Structure 1
Amino acid sequence: MSVAETDAAAPATRDEPAGRPGAKPGGRPSGKWAGFRKRRLITPLALLALWQVTAQTGVLDPEKLPPPTDVLAAGRRLAADGALGGYLVDSLQRAVIGLLIGGLLALALGTVAGLLRIGDDLVDPTVQMARMLPHLGLVPLLIIWLGIGESTKITLVALGAFFPIYLNTYAGIRDIDERLVEAARTCGLTALERIRHVVLPGALPSVFIGLRLAFAAGWLSLVVGEQVNGQGGLGFMMMEAREFSQTDVVVLGLVVYAALGLLSDLVLRTAERRLLGWRRGLQAT
């Protein structure tokens, strides 16, 4: 039998898509993987149900920790009169401005310190000393310097975001295998091309870790900043509710902060998957 006849006699098969077992074309999981991500909802939903039951049965004092249904009702009430939307916009503006200022400054200084010896000598010692200071402990000094306006709140967010991004950018650059840089130089790449094709891709995983930590620290700093003689914002809403013993509104503020943190982390993880699609790490089994 000839080779052509052998090929014709062989049963036709389709190549299995690369990726996880049971994946459909286009990367959409099927079989056991279809329900895998849904399991991530089990624990949060179980905790919500436990919270609701214990609050309704009196195990938890509703005056101190109201059930989720009361918190949801408070959210609907504040959303209906437009108050919640206004507070949310104020907080988002402060967070975005602070994260941009702190993040861009951290990326610039981390890159300079990581790539240049003189930058390492001039920048890194000062940053390492400054990061030992608890930035939330600087609130009284910032109030003296900047007053109790927007500048203090934005500065707190910027400080919270700065150090995680700087440290991870610096570490990401320094952890790149020097042999890769030498190979790129041997291949004739210029300094800018080496940064673009070797340094930047190699440092991006660490930079994304720093970004995720920075967003978490930024939201934490915003909570503190808005509760210091603030006007507007979710923190101000919570402090005002505390004065009138509106525990449901206080808990609502915490829930909104948590939702914003989760949403920002989801956005970063999506961007990381798209930009670092070339990376192949360990998959959970």
Structure 2
Amino acid sequence: MSLKTRLCNDVIFFFSDFNVVQKTHLLPQASVYQDKDFILADVGENVSLHCFYEGDDSAWILWYKQTLGQKPRLISTFYVYDEKITFHDEFQNNPRFKLDTENRRNNLKISDLNFNDSATYYCACSYRFVLTFAEGITVKVREAGLKNPALVHQSPSETIQPGGSVTLNCTVHTGTCYEEHSVYWFKETEASRPGLIYTYGGKNDYCGRKANPQADACVYNLPMKDLNLSHAGTYYCAVDSCGHIVFGNGTKLDFEIAFTITCNLIFVLCCYQENKNKTGDFWSECVYFSFKQ
């Protein structure tokens, strides 16, 4: 191959590679972000959940609502290109929910808040078949002037054996709140954050209420059988009552396995030095220890 041909090929390859890099660099992107992660508001107030959009105009911007223990529900969709706004399901034709889409914003405005609005709201971006979520904003709606919120008492921590069973107790005193409440169980381990494992649906007749209804106390049990090491951890009971979420102190489950090792070791050390025999002492030792996880 001549030098001229080789140079021409190198130039072609250079511009081809440059074109690919240039196209990759200029590939349009789309993203959303939220500037807050928690809002505490009273019943009847109005809130604005901020969502900022950057990128290509062919993206869809969406809002989702996730109530504790439930699947996310789609609230709205907004197509950036033609500025089309659509509300979905129970949010459709609901005047309390509005979108502000000016200046690359997609702010969700909720007016006249009630307890059912307590949830985590996620702004998301759908672009080129990829759905990307922002961090989310948790909205907690409380009843103004509530003096006596719920109290949660849990059973003490226990040491358990493999294959055994245990029942965790959670006693909820609802205080001055007479609304329906929901109770949740969370599990936390050293390797993971607290995760929701069980939900009591929010009906007071679910609650195993004590014989004395004046006590305003409900008892919730979490039975567990055939225990193994995966059950070890700290279990938290939480109640959502009148706009307040109150956690118990937690019940820790530990596994204790006792090993008894009996050591009867006899060492005889025979050394012959200057016609003298030396015999090692006899010793025995029993070691006890426990293993916890």
Q: TM-score, normalised by structure 2?
A: 0.21
Q: TM-score, normalised by structure 1?
A: 0.22
Which structure: greater helix fraction? 1
Which structure: greater strand fraction? 2
